Amino acid sequence: MGRLNVDLCGLPLDNPIIPASGTFGYGYEFAELYDINVLGTFSFKGTTKDPRFGNPTPRIAECTAGMINAVGLQNPGVEKVISEELPKLSTCFNKKVMANVSGFSIDDYAYTCEKLDACDQVGWLEVNVSCPNVHGGGMSFGTSPEAAAEVTAAVKKVTTKPIIIKLSPNVTDIVSIAKACEAAGADGISLINTLLGMRIDLRTKKPIIANKMGGFSGSAIFPVAVRMVYQVAHAVNIPVVGMGGVTTAEDVIEMMIAGATAVEIGAANLIDPYICRDIINELPRVMDKYGISDLKSIIGGVQ
């Protein structure tokens, strides 16, 4: 498996495949289907300081080549994640896991990151800055370089493990935001989070999702994700984790050539729960097809 090895922020991965947050639960659910230790790692469900019930239903809308969700970060809160979810995970996953963190204030982010940083099972902290800033007019932390940098600096002060900032594509200049996070101390960048989308029921003439709008994901967004990964990877000097519409081993290769060190797979897990395992198994064949000796050699290799 040496051909598939990569290094993410100083920590080794057996392969670059990472199920994305919100699509893989806390891992043990998928462990009932296959040995999840075949994964590079996975990013567990978005965790906040306090428990969240999430948005009202319906929360999901289907659409061509994708889906829209507005789950609303439903989770039991960081204390229960540490006391209940991580012990369950330890029975079926023997690698470091990526903790995905969300917050609605700088203090929220810092508190949750500090708690998870102290957990031996956690290898990386993936900080989602797509959340609304409740003290800043409700705009997402990730929509301005200054706000994203403020979150980055705050969590770096209270943590020792690699901080990967997860960026929203719903901005006009994602490069400036990524560079601001790097300057504030980020160890890596992950992108893209979901695009903002909406569906309307023709019979009722009302939005299908109770929240009206939600995050659009799935294979339809792959070209947008590749473009943004390319832009950011060539503008920063820290690793990039690419995601957005990845469904095949070929997509993984393309994302890595664009500049991704590792690749997260999201919505596809909800369609085929075995897809990450199958892509890992398929990667050597696709590498042979394109004359790739090892994955590290193609990162950022676009001409």
Give the other-Cβ count within 10 Å of 271's Cβ: 12
Confidence of residue 138 (pLDDT cuts 50, 70, 90): low
86 conformational bin, left if phi > 0, alpha if psi -120 to 50, beta if neither? alpha
Whether pLDDT at 137 is above 80: no
Query: Is residue 67 in a domain?
Result: yes
Q: pLDDT for 70-98, tens place per residue? A: 998 999 999 999 999 999 999 999 999 99
Whether pLDDT at 135 is above 80: no
Whether pLDDT at 157 is above 70: yes
Query: Is residue 168 in a domain?
Result: yes
At 165, list the tokens. 């900032």
Q: Is the pTM of this model over 0.85?
A: yes
Query: Is residue 30 in a domain?
Result: yes
Number of domains in the chain: 1
For the chain, give the percent of residues with pLDDT over 90.
Answer: 93
Which residues carry out catalysis?
131
CATH code, 223: 3.20.20.70
- Domain range enclosing 128: 2-298
Mean pLDDT along residues 110-125: 98
Mean pLDDT along residues 24-39: 97
The DSSP letter of residue 90 is H
Query: Is residue 9 in a domain?
Result: yes
Least confident of 53-57, 122-126, 261-265, 277-281: 53-57
Query: Is residue 303 in a domain?
Result: no
CA dihedral 207→208→213→215, nearest 10 degrees, is: -160
